[in-house]
Structure formats: C-alpha cells, structure tokens
C-alpha cells in the first residue's frame, strides 16, 4: 500500500502536469513521507517505459541506484558543516551537468534539492541563474518543510505543490501495512507523522526515560539528570518537553491530551499540581530554547538549568 494521503500525486495526470514546467517546489511537514513520494516521481520522470504508472525497473534509466544516477544530481546539506546549509560550491558544481547537451526524452536531467530552505542567499542566486533558462529536459525538484524560510525569488519561479497531511486513520493503516505496529502508539506523540512515529519507536527507551523523569514533577531528582537524556540531541529532548508541557496546560483547559494520549490519567493528576501561569511562561521559554538548539553551532544546552525551570511550574 502506498501513502494514501498522496493518492492524487500518484496519478498519471499529476505526472503529466509535472512535465509541463521545469521547476517544482514540494511543501509538506517533515515525517509524513514526502521524500519517498518525490523519489518515486523522479523515477517516473526518468523511466522511458512506464508500466501501469510505475517505473518499469528494466529500462536504462531504471537501471541505476537513485543516489548514483547519472541523470540525477542531489543537493543536500553538507555533513561537514555544523550549520545546515547548501553551499554555493554545491550549486556551482551543477553547471557542467546542466550544460551537457541533452537530446530528447531519454536525456532528461533532474536536479533534486532536498531542503530548499537551507539554500543561502548566494547559493540561491547561483541556482536562480540556472532556473532562468532551463532546457526543456532539465527539471528542478525542490523539497521543503519550511515555506517561511525559502527565499521569495525561489518561490516565484517554482510551481508549488502543497502536499496534504495524512489523517490519523491513514497513518495507522499505513504503519500496520508496513509491519510497523509498534510505531502506532507513537502516532499522537509524533504529531500524526507516520515516518516520525517509526523514528520515535526506535527511541522508545529514551522517550520512556524522559517521560518517567517528567512524571515526577516537583520531585524530579536532579541526580538523575544526565547527558543520556540528550542521546538524540537537545532539540529532540526539548521537543518532548514542549509536547509534555503543552499537554499539561491543555489538560487544565480542556481535560484532554493531544500528544500523550496513553498517559492521560497521569497527565491529569500532575496537572493539578501546576501553576498555569508559570507553565505558560515555561512553554514560551522552551520555544526560545528550541530555536537556539536549531540555530546554534554549539548545540549543547544547560540541561540542569532547564530542569530547574521545569520544577518551578509546580506549586
């Protein structure tokens, strides 16, 4: 079973539309599977012998591994740079690929930019030069999870495709179908993002450890705070904390939980010991922490300071 929430994008009509313009920008939420849809679409664009709308698997274009395909250039964050960015050198390296003569249907070329939002000003400008006069057989496929961060000049030159999010049922059906039953209980915590839920289920032990500590509330034992909690990065720890605080405050207002639905009773108990004002203040502070963890080169955070702030929300 495919990702049913993308059904419209698996249709022949979408592929036909895709061929009509050269630059496409896909927008979605991370963890919903857009990268798999896009890979599939690129394979379809290149296959010269589609069968029932699927790549045939045996034509010359289908005979290459995606990441090493001679007709595809992939631009992604360079791992050696600590700040996520697509550098201008990466864009410049495209020039010869783009300028290589391309004749006819069999010579399609794809430039796939995995995160269009991490193009900086100079790399975007270099890319734009290429977008200005694309040859008909060259396609720029851009993916992004953050429209707000994409330069307007890139947006204005692209055909936008806003991908829909899965419903909860679609996510659950998909995970079941993929043999990922254990990930289903992470659907709420993932924010209904099936691929993120799979990722989280691989972190079950860590998540349990974090939640067990948070459940102690005011009695949070500082001795148990250690860097193991940051195994998956400080951003991840803060995200779990944000969702936890969200649910504590949400429960006070609505008697419901959004993310920790399996712990509703415990969230209810602990929310009785809270100062709502302090909780909301802490929530705001966490947003700042989250931004810092995303932008700073030094990603380590003062975990104990964060936990002391957490303890303060309890009366």
Residues in contact with Zn ion, counted by CB under 5 A, come to a total of: 6
Contact between 29 and 193 (Cβ < 8 Å): yes
Interaction residues for Zn ion, span 164-223 (CB under 5 A):
none
Taking the least distance from each CB to Zn ion, the nearer of 43 and 243 is: 43
Interaction residues for Zn ion, span 26-65 (CB under 5 A):
47, 49, 55-56, 59, 62
15 part of the interface to Zn ion, by CB under 5 A:
no
Interaction residues for Zn ion, span 62-91 (CB under 5 A):
62
Min. distance of Cβ 109 from Zn ion in angstroms?
Answer: 16
Min. distance of Cβ 119 from Zn ion in angstroms?
Answer: 31
Min. distance of Cβ 189 from Zn ion in angstroms?
Answer: 39
Taking the least distance from each CB to Zn ion, the nearer of 56 and 155 is: 56
Min. distance of Cβ 120 from Zn ion in angstroms?
Answer: 36
Taking the least distance from each CB to Zn ion, the nearer of 31 and 55 is: 55
Distance CA 313, CA 285 (A): 12
Taking the least distance from each CB to Zn ion, the nearer of 44 and 193 is: 44
Contact between 144 and 27 (Cβ < 8 Å): yes
Min. distance of Cβ 161 from Zn ion in angstroms?
Answer: 23
Min. distance of Cβ 69 from Zn ion in angstroms?
Answer: 12
Taking the least distance from each CB to Zn ion, the nearer of 47 and 119 is: 47
Min. distance of Cβ 297 from Zn ion in angstroms?
Answer: 44
Taking the least distance from each CB to Zn ion, the nearer of 48 and 204 is: 48
Q: Which residues bind Zn ion (CB under 5 A)?
A: 47, 49, 55-56, 59, 62
């Amino acid at each position: 079973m495919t990702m049913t929430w993308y059904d419209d994008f698996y249709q022949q009509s979408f592929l036909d539309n895709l061929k009509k313009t050269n630059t496409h920008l896909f927008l979605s939420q991370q963890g919903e599977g857009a990268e798999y849809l896009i890979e599939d679409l690129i394979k379809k664009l290149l296959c010269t012998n589609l069968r029932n709308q699927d790549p045939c698997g045996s034509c010359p274009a289908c005979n290459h591994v995606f990441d090493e395909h001679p007709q595809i250039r992939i631009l992604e964050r360079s791992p050696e740079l600590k700040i996520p960015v697509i550098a201008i050198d990466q864009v410049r390296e495209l020039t010869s690929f783009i300028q290589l003569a391309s004749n006819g249907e069999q010579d399609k070329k794809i430039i796939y930019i995995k995160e269009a939002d991490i193009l900086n000003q100079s790399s975007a400008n270099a890319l734009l030069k290429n977008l200005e006069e694309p040859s008909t057989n060259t396609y720029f496929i851009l993916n992004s999870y953050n429209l707000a961060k994409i330069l307007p000049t890139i947006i204005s030159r692209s055909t936008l495709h806003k991908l829909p999010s899965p419903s909860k049922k679609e996510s659950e059906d998909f995970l079941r179908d993929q043999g990922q039953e254990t990930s289903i209980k992470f659907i709420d915590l993932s924010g209904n993002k099936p691929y993120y839920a799979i990722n989280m289920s691989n972190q079950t032990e860590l998540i349990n450890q974090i939640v067990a500590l948070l459940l102690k509330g005011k009695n949070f034992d500082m001795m148990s705070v250690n860097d193991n909690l940051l195994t998956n990065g400080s951003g991840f720890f803060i995200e779990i904390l944000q969702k936890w605080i969200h649910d504590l405050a949400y429960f006070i207002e609505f008697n419901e939980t959004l993310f920790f639905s399996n712990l509703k009773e415990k969230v209810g108990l602990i929310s009785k010991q809270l100062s709502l004002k302090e909780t909301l203040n802490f929530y705001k502070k966490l947003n700042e922490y989250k931004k810092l963890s995303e932008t700073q080169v030094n990603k380590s955070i003062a975990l104990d300071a964060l936990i002391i702030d957490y303890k303060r929300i309890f009366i």
